Structure 1
Amino acid sequence: MALDGLFLNRIIQKLSAQTPLKIQRIYHVSENELVFIVRNHDAKLQLLLSAHSVHNRLQFSNQNFVYPQEPSNYVMLLRKHLEDGLILSIQQIGLDRVVEFKIQKRNELGDLHQYRLMIELMGKYANVVFVDDQDRVIDALKRIPPYENTKRTIHPGAVYNYPEQSDRKNPFTSVYDPTLSLMDQFHGFSPLLAREVDHRLKQGETFESIMNQIEHSELCFVSDEKASDYHCIELSHLNQSFTEYPLMEGLDHVYQALEEKERIKQHSGDLIKFINRELKKAKQKRPKLLEAMDDALDCEKWRSYGDYLYAYGMQVPKGLKSFETKDFETDEIIHIPLDDKYDGKQNAQRYYQKYNKGKKGQVHITHQLELNQNEIDYFTSLSEQIELASVNDAIEIREELVREGYLKQRHAPKRKKEVKLNIIQLHFGDARIYVGKNNLQNEQITFKIGQKKDLWFHASAYHGSHVLLQNSEDKDLIEIAASFAAYYSKARGSAKVEVQMVQVKDLKKIPDAKPGMVNISNYSTLMIEPNEADLIQIIKDHQVK
């Protein structure tokens, strides 16, 4: 569901209650999203402004955002004019999806400047427009020049005008007319909310009581079946189960997974497309290698053809396209193809060359088939990892591909401290569980963190996570560790998953293998039924930040 004016009204009430807010830092997390790090009298907050064509919204967020190393030109402009400034007020224009930030800041000389930041949350036209105290556009996240829209130009130097508003009533203060549709007579209604209010009216509720619930709601009701169905009142007409969240937490729940892949693309150069392309290339190469191997294995035939042609070479002049003779052992007729440009002995020499090439080729092609299978396994594992990756995980996968020589380094590497990998670390008293979600994390867990007597887990016969359990052999913790190994693998959707458990001392790194590849011995197996909701709750309760 796109954010409607009435839900936005509840968000604005929450945001404006925190003003004034001091702007400490401004970042962009994707080409359509800005994050303002702000502080009020007692807390630091992340204020997200999204101008995405589908997921546009405005909220306080608790997501762990990853910021690009190089800010965009628009962010640099906002930093210059707005950082260390104060957001004095946040207000909605009527019940439209347009929000105004009034901001003031002193310049280097101590002069006070007033600015407005206009957040327009209108689908594909969503925008964040920076305006001065003379109503002139300083710049915008998405510029709209005159040749694109003659009625409303959003371009540096243009006069800022509010989006055109329709002549409709405020549902909080106006009387409901049952002869007209809700969307025709009131501001702020989306089709989804209008259907819910119509349903409740038919159930005997009054329009005033429904609007009172909306006006004072502090919650976000999210459908358990389709997260994009949400609102500040329960959508009972859908006949679905709903989960209640605090308003801002509900928005994080709805949008975090939806936007993650776009952020991965923004930060990591469309890894998914690259990995899938390399996997397809490796798979297409395999049939050609197998065909070449069949030819190479057939090389004894070429040697025997050469022998026959040398034996009967005097009977084979130039110009023949084939030669027939009897098999030395079975007396069966053998048909030998010839190149008519050569005589019998010359054709024999060509068959001997083909035989020698095939003999040597068997060794070479066997090696190539092994390398090709390793490539297929490697990119299959990366393909599975990227499906479950966060932005941090994706950045690490890209770094791995740079190290392995598949991608080029975007910039000359700067000398800096080694970045800590985004490993899930869980504490249960003295016990520790480490969960890797990509090959670099798996390598770190298995060969650097793991001690000889620690327990190590991996989904059997699947690419997936390396999970380590330290300082415990408790049955419940073993089951939790095995559940993470099952969940972060290709088998996560299976009813039951076989998981291998082994002590770290029985693991060996495969020489010259890709990152994350190990040989194991002396392992036992467990049958696990991974439950996503339980694992998410365990992470919330026990993760070390």
Structure 2
Amino acid sequence: MALDGLLLHKLQENLSQMTPMKINKCSQVSEHEMLFYIRSKAKNCKLMISTHSQYNRINLTNENYQSPAVAGNFGMVLRKYIDGGMIISIRQLGLDRILDFEIIAYDDLSDPHTYHLYVELMGKYANLVLVENNRIIDALKRIPPFENNIRPIFPGMEFTLPTQFEKKDPFLEEDFNCDESLSKQFHGFSPLLSREFIYRLHNHESFRDIMNELENSESLYVYEKENQFHCIELKHLHSSFSVYPLMRGFDVVYYHAQEKERIREQSGDLYKVVKKELHKNTSKLKKLKETLALANDCDHYRIYGDLLYAYSYQYPQKMEAVDLEDFETGQMIHIPLDVKYDIKYNAKKYYQKYKKSKTAQIEVAKQIDLCEKEIEYFTLLQSQLEYASFDDAKEIRSELEKNGYLRIQKNIRKPKKNALPHFITLNFKGNNIYIGKNNLQNDYLTFHFARKEDWWFHTLDYHGAHVIVQCDELSEEIIRTCAMLASYYSQGKDSSSVPVAYTKIKNLKKAKGKAIGQALMNSYKTIYIDPDEKKVIELLDTYKK
């Protein structure tokens, strides 16, 4: 799954139609991502540029991005030089995966400067480089001369473009060798697109017709199973696909995938703590169960003590072991002794072991119960982090800080005490649907926000979201929609026939001794449903408030 030169050409055409664009703000939202808040033709937009090795891209986005508490170095450089500047042109260097943003900005003395922001989207070599007068001001990824003496990227050095290869322009020429990959003959072709062209050519489509289809396309065809996409249908994959508007398609493909990395980057200790606590308690539970098994096998200590006291007058001397007849079975029992003590004192020691084991049975059972609750709690948090947004992750962090698992971060802006959790709200055909994706959101929605006659949906046998719907009549369409959302935001997301329970709020009560947000049901109905990511994305795009 990679961006090729011809797909970038389509993106460049779309962006060029918006020039000139004023840069209102530059924000480095992660180690690899820059977000530009721009204004074009009396409309505010957000332009995302990612230089991630797998998720590198450029597209207009409507998604919300959380800026980190501390701005990145390159983000500060862009703010200094091009904030408030005007993007007057965006051109692609041939059909390579390089865009040149020409920007005019003014310094503190109101003198104009012309800058070039080079966007290089070449897989693991993806980069952003700010240049003035062919001298590098700075880059998102600095490459000093000792790492690459052919093309170093370092402040103050002369900027050079990557080596250009002699290939044909597919918009001007169409002669090719069928026995060789088109990616080796034409600029802008990826191996994926080359295979598609070869397939179509063998099925009697002309090279020029395919190029015209590509040039006129304004959609992105996404193949989820194959993890591929392009702006034309990839017929050679023989698979189902989804079609999105070009810019929106990139958000669908990349936003949630890179969001997890973004959250990990800004809240890395959060994931580590959850994983560490889960591993610690899992190991502890195993040892506790072994200890309990030994404690339960303690009756023989009492028997040893009884026999030693009964026969102590026959063995006044100190011994290493003794064989005595059991009162009940008549069998001989071999009893190890501590040679340092007499028979009576050894009997006393066995009684102490017996008493200690009986006490351990009670205390270790309590510890096992606590440990199992901890495992359940951190398993729940781990599953919530899998589909958490940045706001969801912040609320999970706040919960862990409150419970003493994480140190409270200093010099970080905290939410107001009475601030409401960031739950998802949909207006589905006149009915409000609310989705809680962590413990704080679930607790608030279920036990504080919802009315007694509202309906509540939750997966059975899986940790997941609480889904609340306010409606006069619970139709089959609403049931299936809410069940779909509940199954998608749960541990059963990748399963089929996920059981989802639904009942009225009045049939719920808080689960005592459990994590915040967990509920018990008096009565409920069940529906089985297959989670469908495509349908959930469509629901969020169409009905999200």
Q: Same fold (TM over 0.5)?
A: yes
Report the equivalent of 2:235. 236
1:499 corresponds in structure 2 to: 500
What is the aligned partner in structure 1 of residue 199 from structure 2? 199
Equivalence for 1:427: 427
Q: Is the 8 A contact 1:318 1:342 kept in 2?
A: no
Are positions 1:407 and 2:428 aligned together?
no
Deviation at 1:16, TM superposition (A): 1.0
Q: Distance in 1 between matches of 2:498 and 2:208?
A: 53
Q: Check conservation: 2:458, 2:466, Cα contact below 8 A.
A: yes
1:37 corresponding residue in structure 2 = 37
Aligned partners of 1:267 and 1:395 also within 8 Å: no
Aligned to 2:474: 474
What is the one-letter code of the residue matched to 1:485?
Answer: A
What is the alpha-carbon distance in structure 2 between the residues aligned to residue 55 and residue 390 of structure 1?
18
Structure 1 spans left out of the alignment, 5+ residues = none
Check the 8 A contact 1:320/1:338 in 2, yes or no.
Answer: yes
For 2:525 and 2:287, the matched residues in 1 are separated by 38
Question: Which residue number corresponds to residue 486 of structure 1?
Answer: 487
Taking the TM superposition and a 5 Å limit, the aligned residue runs for 1:25-424 are 25-132=25-132, 134-178=133-177, 181-226=181-226, 228-269=227-268, 271-316=270-315, 320-412=319-411, 414=413, 416-418=415-417, 419-424=419-424
Cα distance change on mapping 1:195 and 1:270 into 2, 3 Å: farther
**Percentage identity across paired residues of the two chains:** 44
Look up the match of 2:442.
442
Say if 1:428 and 1:218 are closer, same or farther in 2 by CA, change over 3 A.
closer
Gaps of 5+ in 2: none
Q: Please give the secondary structure, in 1, of the residue aligned with 2:204.
A: coil
The one-letter amino acid paired with 2:504 is: Q
Asked if 2 retains the 8 angstrom alpha-carbon contact of 1:479 and 1:528, the reply is no
Inter-CA distance 100–245: structure 2 relative to 1 (3 Å threshold): same
Q: Partner letter of residue 66 of structure 2?
A: V
Q: After superposition, what is the alpha-carbon deviation per residue over 1:123-177, rounded to whole angstroms, capped at 9, x for unaligned?
A: 1111101112x21111111111011111111111111111111122322123524
CA distance in 2, matches of 1:461, 1:7: 44
Kindly provide the amino acid, as one letter, of the partner of residue 322 in structure 1. Answer: A
SS of residue matched to 2:55: coil
Q: Distance in 2 between matches of 1:198 and 1:219?
A: 21
Structure 1: distance between partners of 2:405 and 2:382: 15
> Do the aligned residues in 1 keep the contact of 2:495 with 2:531 (CA within 8 Å)?
no
SS at match of 1:500: strand
The number of residues matched between the two structures is 541
Per the TM alignment, residue 51 of structure 1 is displaced from its structure 2 partner at its CA by 0.8
Q: Does the aligned pair in 1 maintain the 2:499–2:529 contact within 8 Å?
A: no
CA–CA distance in structure 2, aligned partners of residues 540 and 213 of structure 1: 27
Structure 2 CA distance for aligned equivalents of residues 8 and 430 of structure 1 = 40
Task: Report the Cα distance in structure 1 between the residues aligned to 2:130 and 2:317, rounded to whole angstroms.
Answer: 86
2:431 and 2:198 map into 1 onto residues whose CA distance is: 54
Residue 511 of structure 2 corresponds to which residue in structure 1? 510
Query: What is the identity, as a one-letter code, of the residue corresponding to 1:385?
Result: Q
Residue 400 of structure 1 and its aligned partner are, at CA, apart by 2.2
One-letter amino acid matched to 2:322: F
Given that 1:4 and 1:189 are in contact with CA atoms closer than 8 Å, whether structure 2 keeps it comes out as yes
Distance 2:19 2:369 in 1: 63
TM-score normalised to structure 1 length? 0.92
| Kept in 1: contact 2:51–2:127 (CA 8 A) | yes
1:18 alignment partner, SS class: coil
Give the TM-score normalised by the residue count of structure 2.
Answer: 0.92
8 Å contact kept, 2:273–2:406: no
* Root-mean-square deviation (Å): 2.4
Aligned-pair CA distance for 1:471? 4.6
> Cα 1:198–1:85, aligned 2, differ >3 Å: closer, same or farther?
same
User: For 2:114 and 2:204, how far apart are their aligned partners in 1?
Assistant: 49
Distance in 2, matches of 1:197 and 1:242, equals 18
431-440 or 236-245, larger mean C-alpha shift: 236-245
For 2:167, the aligned partner's letter is: R
Q: CA deviation at 1:57?
A: 1.5
* Closer, same or farther: CA 34–341 of 1 in aligned 2, 3 Å: same
